[in-house]
A and B are shown apart, each in its own frame.
Chain A
Amino acid sequence: AQSVTQLGSHVSVSEGALVLLRCNYSSSVPPYLFWYVQYPNQGLQLLLKYTSAATLVKGINGFEAEFKKSETSFHLTKPSAHMSDAAEYFCAASNDYKLSFGAGTTVTVRA
């Protein structure tokens, strides 16, 4: 079964600083990979997805992620954090139409 590991349950960054959220997946066959964001008391919103096309994927709100097969990683980055980026971020992997989520990383942004 697919498993997804997110390193760091909580990340705190200063406004304007780089945001880096780490995600690794376990699969010999690269799955589809996704990052979802969840704002307080809201549902899951897709930030971006990797579906075996370009390895660098650009998403909404200035986020991007790079698929590295050799490292089985799909880390999420944003060059400059904004206060509105404070949320929970989930990495997810899909094989055979089943999505497995990582444990999530809470991002707080300091003014």
Chain B
Amino acid sequence: EPEVTQTPSHQVTQMGQEVILRCVPISNHLYFYWYRQILGQKVEFLVSFYNNEISEKSEIFDDQFSVERPDGSNFTLKIRSTKLEDSAMYFCASTTVTGELFFGEGSRLTVL
């Protein structure tokens, strides 16, 4: 069964460093998303991406964040200069037109 894959599964970084989280969505999907879950809190929407551009972003998704689909298969989330409060589980998701999002296993980011 096709699935969304994310790498790395866990990344530890120093505050102020750049981080890139990678995702390979399901191949025929058209909409891509990043969500974030801070430990013990709800899953929060960060950004959606369609037709090679951001279609919607939340207020969490500030100038420190960016997304890219560099090669038609990968979908990346970059955090330019990480802060302690960026520590969270980051989930990538993709969908076709049914509205059902398929999630990856998540990438745990720990900022020290």
Contact = CB atoms under 8 A, between A and B. Distances in A.
A33 B10 CA distance: 30
Given A43-B91, A46-B100, A51-B99, A100 B45 contact: yes
Most chain B beta-carbon contacts within 10 A, residue among A34, A36, A45, A101: A101
A79 B95 CA distance: 31
A72 interface: no
Given A34-B100, A44-B91, A46-B102, 5 more contacts: A32-B98, A51-B99, A90-B43, A101-B35, A101-B45
26 contacts: A32-B98, A32-B99, A34-B100, A42-B105, A42-B106, A43-B91, A43-B104, A43-B106, A44-B43, A44-B106, A46-B102, A51-B99, A51-B100, A90-B43, A97-B48, A97-B99, A98-B56, A99-B33, A99-B99, A99-B101, A100-B45, A101-B35, A101-B42, A101-B45, A103-B41, A103-B42
Interface of B: 31, 33, 35, 41-45, 48, 50, 55-56, 91, 93, 95, 98-106
